[in-house]
Amino acid sequence: MTRKRIRRRVAFWLGTVLGLLLILVLLLHYDPAAVIPPMLHSKIHLLAAVAVIQAAIQVLNAVTPVVLLGAPERGQLTRLTQTRIFLALQPLGQLAPGRLTDFAAVPLLMKYHRSGALASSIVLDRLITLFLLLLLTPIAVRFVWPTGSAAAMNLAVVAGLMLVGSAPFLLANRRFRHLVNRSILRFTPRLLEGFGKHTESLLQTSRAPLLLNFGLTALKILLAGISLSLLAANVGLSLSVFTATCMSVLIQLVTAVPLAPQGLGIAEGSLVLLFTVNGLPGALALSMGLIARILFIPVIAAIYMTTTVPLIAERFGGREAPTDEHCGSEADN
- Flag whether pLDDT at 330 surpasses 50: no
Question: pLDDT higher for 23 or 172?
Answer: 23
Question: pLDDT higher for 56 or 2?
Answer: 56
Q: What is the pLDDT of residue 333?
A: 44
Tally the C-alpha atoms within 13 A of residue 289's C-alpha that lie toward its C-beta: 31
* CA 227, chain centre distance (Å): 16
Q: What is the pLDDT of residue 265?
A: 87
Average pLDDT over residues 140-149: 77
- Flag whether pLDDT at 21 surpasses 80: yes
> In whole angstroms, how far apart are CA 84 and each of 10, 22, 80, 105, 141?
30, 34, 6, 11, 36
Q: What is the pLDDT of residue 323?
A: 46
Q: Are 269 and 22 in contact (CB under 8 A)?
A: yes
DSSP letter (8 states) at residue 111:
T
216 lies in some domain: yes
7 lies in some domain: no
Q: What is the pLDDT of residue 190?
A: 54
Q: Tell me the per-residue pLDDT of 211-222, one tens digit each, with 9 for 90 and over.
A: 999 999 999 999
5 lies in some domain: no
Q: What is the pLDDT of residue 8?
A: 66
Question: pLDDT higher for 277 or 17?
Answer: 277
- Flag whether pLDDT at 192 surpasses 60: yes
Amino acid at 140: A
104 lies in some domain: yes
Q: Tell me the per-residue pLDDT of 157-190, one tens digit each, with 9 for 90 and over.
A: 888 888 888 877 777 666 765 665 555 554 455 5
Q: What is the pLDDT of residue 325?
A: 40
DSSP letter (8 states) at residue 122:
H
> In whole angstroms, how far apart are CA 195 and each of 65, 170, 308?
14, 12, 27
Percent of the residues in the chain that have a pLDDT greater than 70, as a whole number: 80
Average pLDDT over residues 14-30: 87
320 lies in some domain: no
For the chain, how many structural domains are there in total?
1
176 lies in some domain: yes
Amino acid at 103: F
- Flag whether pLDDT at 322 surpasses 50: no
90 lies in some domain: yes
| Dihedral-angle region of residue 283 (phi above 0 means left; psi in -120 to 50 means alpha; beta otherwise) | alpha
Distance from C-alpha of 209 to C-alpha of 216, rounded to nearest angstrom: 10
Name which of 73, 72, 90, 68 is nearest 81 in CA terms: 72
Average pLDDT over residues 2-27: 78
* CA 85, chain centre distance (Å): 16
Q: 324: pLDDT confidence band, cut at 50, 70 and 90?
A: very low
> Across the chain, what does the average pLDDT equal?
82
DSSP, collapsed to helix, strand or coil, labels residue 316 as helix
151 lies in some domain: yes
Q: What is the pLDDT of residue 1?
A: 54
- Please give the span between the terminal C-alpha atoms of the chain, in angstroms, as a whole number: 32
Name which of 43, 79, 64 is nearest 221 in CA terms: 64
Q: Tell me the per-residue pLDDT of 235-272, one tens digit each, with 9 for 90 and over.
A: 999 999 999 999 999 999 988 877 777 778 899 999 99
Q: Are 212 and 64 in contact (CB under 8 A)?
A: no
30-34, 46-50, 214-218, 227-231: which has the minimum mean pLDDT? 30-34
Q: Tell me the residue range of the domain where 70 lies.
A: 39-315
Q: 103: pLDDT confidence band, cut at 50, 70 and 90?
A: confident
Name which of 237, 277, 275, 255 is nearest 93 in CA terms: 255
- Flag whether pLDDT at 328 surpasses 50: no
